[in-house]
Amino acid sequence: MQAFLLGHLAERIGVTMVDADAASIAITGAAPLVDAKEGEITLIDDPSYLDRLKSCGASAVVTSTRFEEITIPQLVVPRVHDAFASICRLFRPSDRAISPGIHPSATVHETAAIDADCSIGPFVSVESDCIVGAGTRIDRGVTIMSGCTIGRDCQLFPGVVLYPGTILGDRVILHAGVVLGAYGFGYRMSDGKHELASQLGWVEIGDRVEIGANSCVDRGTYGVTRIGSGTKIDNLVQIGHNCRIGQHNLICSQVGIAGSASTGDYVVIAGQVGLRDHTHIGEKSMVGAQSGVANDIEPNQIVLGSPAIPRFEQAQQLAAISKLPEMRKQLRRLENQVQSLVQKKAA
């Protein structure tokens, strides 16, 4: 088991160790509070976790504030998670760094322009007229169809498929099973049969976009389906044809966005939300989990429910619904009283 002196870890994250005894402590691993044991270093980002820290057995801790009640060595840093991640990488170095080149089993068309600094893995297929930028890694079994453009420093994990004409910006991450540019779900009725509508567009992904495993973005009917720069998309998300997703959106798992819908910048869409076609979500708005968006949403709104409405209205409705059983009993009592009065008057 690899071990590092605490003093070495402190230097790595920019902390000056004053106590020589603490600097010489051997650290054998890094783990969160729930898993940390003797010999390991952990982190704490909230004072409410102090009791848990005292009982976890860790030999050192990374914190943002010095706590007098903690007896183990503390490495105090302004950005706890960045520092702890740096330490974790020492104990669990990435095996992703490999030499550039094209694996012998890969198939690369002679018209494809592959930068010399790229890594093309086993059984990758790169078709005609594709461009792949410097520093990009394409993993096992990826299929890149004709006319695709991939920017610099991208990462395509195993099983990714790019349909013809797909465009990726720089530093894009596509996790396993992502499909970009498949035909949109558009049909026209002709002679009693569903005929596939035109599928002549493409998909364009901005810089620093990350798309989770098994998510799909469909190509436009005639033009582009676009995902704005900085947007992060979770696993199992479906984005339909002609959609325009803004910059720096957060789209959680199992969201379904129908064709020609759009979002502004900095929109957050929680899990299992559904958007109707041609709807628009304004910038900096948030849509709560399992909501159904049937109409446009103004900027800077928080909406919930199906159909999605502002959260305060939704809260009022939910509060009223919770009172329905008692209101039903009250109505029955009133009905009985009225009936009794009617009978007395008739008598």
- Axis crossing angle, helix 324-346 with helix 311-322, rounded to the nearest 10: 50
* Predicted pLDDT at 226: 98
Total number of residues shown for the chain: 347
Specify the pLDDT at position 342.
87
Quote the pLDDT of residue 129: 98
Structure tokens at 147: 């006319």
Angstrom CA distances, 143 to 156, 217, 271, 279, stand at 10, 15, 29, 32
Q: Domain limits of the chain? A: 4-91, 101-312, 322-346
Supply 206's token pair: 């901005």
| Most confident by average pLDDT, 13-22, 60-69, 73-82, 222-231 | 222-231
4-91 to CATH, choices 3.40.50.720, 3.40.1390.10, 3.40.50.970, 3.40.50.20 = 3.40.1390.10
> Which structure tokens are listed for 171?
């530093």
Q: For 161-174, what is each residue's pLDDT tens digit?
A: 999 999 999 999 99
Average pLDDT, the chain: 93
Residue 269 has pLDDT above 80, yes or no: yes
Written as one string, the DSSP assignment of 252-317 is -TT-EE-TT-EE-TT-EE-TT-EE-TT-EE-TT-EE-TT-EE-S-B-TT-EEETTTTEEHHHHHHH
Of residues 16 and 162, which shows the higher confidence score?
Answer: 162
pLDDT value, residue 2? 83
Asked whether 180 and 217 are in contact (CB, 8 A), the reply is: yes
Alpha-carbon distance 106 to 104, whole Å? 6
Q: Is the model's pLDDT at 96 over the cut of 60? A: no
Residue that wins the pLDDT comparison between 321 and 239: 239
- Spell out the residues 6+ positions from residue 248 whose beta carbon is closer than 8 angstroms to its own: 228, 229, 230, 231, 265, 266
> What percentage of the chain reaches a pLDDT higher than 70?
98
Which helix (DSSP H) or strand (DSSP E) does residue 120 occupy?
Answer: strand 119-120
- Contacts of 195 by beta carbon, 8 Å cutoff, 6+ apart: 187, 188, 189
Give the C-alpha distances (Å, rounded to integers) separating 223 from 42, 162, 195, 200: 50, 17, 20, 7
Cβ(44)–Cβ(63) under 8 Å?
yes
Per-residue CA distances from 3 to 28, 221, 246 (Å) = 4, 57, 45
Q: Which of 186-200, 230-244, 308-322 has the highest average model confidence (pLDDT)?
A: 230-244
Known catalytic residues are 241
CA angle 146, 148, 151 (to 5 degrees): 155
Q: What is the CATH number of domain 101-312?
A: 2.160.10.10
**Buried b vs exposed e over 325-340: b needs ≥16 C-beta within 10 Å?**
eeeeeeeeeeeeeeee
Q: Report the pLDDT averaged over residues 171-194.
A: 96
Average pLDDT over residues 83-102: 83
- What per-residue confidence (pLDDT) applies to 68? 86
Cα separations in angstroms, 116 against 113, 155, 207: 9, 16, 21
Is residue 52 very low, low, confident or very high in pLDDT (cuts 50, 70, 90)? Answer: confident
69 Cβ contact partners less than 8 Å away, ≥ 6 residues apart: 50, 54
